Amino acid sequence: MTFEGNINRTLVKGDDGRLYFSTDRGRLYCLEGAPPTIAWHLDNPAPFGCPPDLAPDRVFVWDLDNIISCFDRTGKPGWKTKIADRISSPISHDRERLFVGTEAGDLLALSQATGETLWRFRTRAAVSAAAVFYRDSIVLGSQDGTLYLVSPKGVQRRAVPLSSPVSVTPLLDGSRLYIGTADFSFYCFDLESRKRLWKVMAAGRILAPPSADEKRVYLQASNGVLYALDKAGGEILWWWVAPSRSPYALEFDGEKVLITSHSPVLSSLEKRSGLAAGKYEAGTEIRSNPVWADPILLFAVFDPSSDQGVISWLQKEVKVEVSASPSSPQPSGTEVSFTADASGFYRPEFEFTLRQGEERTVVQKSSAKKSWVWYPEKEGSYSVSVKVSDEKQAKEAEIPYEIAVKSKKDEEKKKKKETNNDPTRGARPPQEAPPEQEPGQTLSGRGGLHEGGWGKAGA
């Protein structure tokens, strides 16, 4: 699917499953379906300057004429508001207001319903990071090197000096705030206790908003390195060098991290280790974050030959295979192990079924165990199937297996094997008990029976 212009960095996925993005040629798009088609699009007189921000029933975006526009989720225009100063941050919103920063150093709060400016909060330098929200506080990083907590009415509650300007939107994860500064510092604050928990130094500026899973926080630096840090103390768990710098948000797929950069390569990494799990070569530079719109993965590229953007998509490969060891056919009584191999699932479970003719029996209920051992007792034609499933999908694979009639040779081999395994084979035959000794007699080692004393063993 092609579109006019370059995407403004981010494909935004809505809670309705649709994707939204804007371009530097004043186009706003909404995509739906798999593969994606254009649900609607509209033209703007001026290029858009930020990705769209999605409220429950509205879409907000600003252009390079410093006009903020509101649309409903069908693309129907709402209000427009002209801002006197140059807008410099992404849009963010809470329940009733939306917020933008300006190069003059203001954070503006506007009504979502009307676009009216409700208040402005002044910092000492440009605001290029979006505001985030903790309880009833607005949390803001400024290029004046300060972290601000602001009340719903625009009154400063707290100011925390940082070591350097903030230009990238921080991550709020529960009560923890992760924020990077221009001097390569990366902080973790607990907003509940109002304490700084830790600080680490990266080897470059933070280029994209941080991301997190249950145990790790991820940051992408200007030296082209993706870092995975332990949330508890900030220790570096692993790091990975990208093909180029990346200003794009990460995407997660189960136990995988997906990353794009200013390169044609989409990479998949293992969350726990950072080891490469796979990659895709797009053929031209990727210009957006990767995003899952189940069952496909989408990203944007730019085709310089046609001067157009392209939405590319990849279908997830869901694959199931089952193998047997030893291979068919085998005589009855042979131990046979069946093992499933599955890809494209998140935390899969495996259910094994044995079939002979029309008779089907579940021989191992669904579990994380991906193998089953069979001890066939009767000859015949069988098949073993495995059903692999996760929360979203399921797929089956089957393998035929022949249990043959035991031949005379097999019986002989079995008998020989049993004989070889007989514990009494090669043992000395039982001995008769020695004769009872009469008083004054003894048994020598070799000389037999002697009278009197101990006797003397023969030589």
Whether omega before 47 lies within 30 degrees of 0, making that bond cis, reads no
3-state secondary structure of 46: coil
CA distance linking residue 175 with residue 192, whole number of Å: 6
Asked if pLDDT for residue 27 goes beyond 90, the answer is yes
Calculate what percentage of the chain has a pLDDT beyond 70.
88
DSSP 8-state code for residue 88: -
Q: How far is CA 442 from CA 254, 432, 433, 438, in A?
A: 83, 18, 15, 8
The pLDDT of residue 417 is: 59
For the domain spanning 162-236, the CATH number is 2.40.10.480
Is the pLDDT higher at 202 or at 435?
Answer: 202
For residue 171 the two structure tokens come to 């991550």
Closest CA to 382 of 336, 414, 349, 339: 336
pLDDT digits (tens, 9 = 90+) for 157-201: 999 999 899 999 999 999 999 999 999 999 999 999 999 999 999
The pLDDT of residue 163 is: 85
CA distance linking residue 74 with residue 63, whole number of Å: 20
- Answer for the pair 134, 142: CB distance below 8 angstroms, yes or no: no
Total Cβ atoms within 10 A of residue 159 = 14
pLDDT digits (tens, 9 = 90+) for 382-411: 999 999 999 888 999 999 999 998 765 655
Kindly list the domain boundaries of the chain, sorted by start residue.
162-236, 320-408
Q: Does 320-408 carry CATH code 2.60.40.10?
A: yes
Backbone angles phi, psi at 436, to 5 degrees: -65, 140
Q: How far is CA 409 from CA 130, 321, 416, in A?
A: 79, 34, 10
Q: What is the pTM of this model?
A: 0.77
